[in-house]
């Protein structure tokens, strides 16, 4: 289980495709701004210098991003 901006995601149902997070069941689409998902950010850091800068921010993103998160609709 992972929590993202108040939404709990069952990570067993989640796959990451590019900058999209998708579940394998019925979904509700939510757009989140200025969100950092560590695995996504790390894939966008191209050099060791960028990775060092990332680590020095203590996990804070180096940029604002918007990702689309599809979460299981509990209702």
- pLDDT tens for 28-70 read 444 333 344 444 444 445 566 666 665 665 555 444 444 455 5
**46: which residues sit within 8 A by CB, 6+ positions away?**
none
User: What residue numbers bound the domain in which 25 lies?
Assistant: 2-72
Number of domains in the chain: 1
| pTM more than 0.75 | no
Beta strands of 1-75 (E only): which ranges? 2-4, 7-9, 14-17, 20-23, 27-33, 66-72
């Amino acid at each position: 289980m992972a929590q993202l901006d108040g939404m709990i995601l069952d990570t067993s149902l989640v796959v990451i495709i590019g900058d999209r997070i998708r579940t394998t069941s019925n979904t509700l689409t939510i757009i989140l701004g200025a969100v950092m998902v560590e695995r996504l950010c790390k894939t966008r850091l191209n050099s060791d210098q960028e990775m060092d800068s990332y680590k020095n921010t203590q996990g804070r993103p180096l940029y604002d991003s918007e990702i689309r998160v599809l979460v299981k609709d509990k209702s």
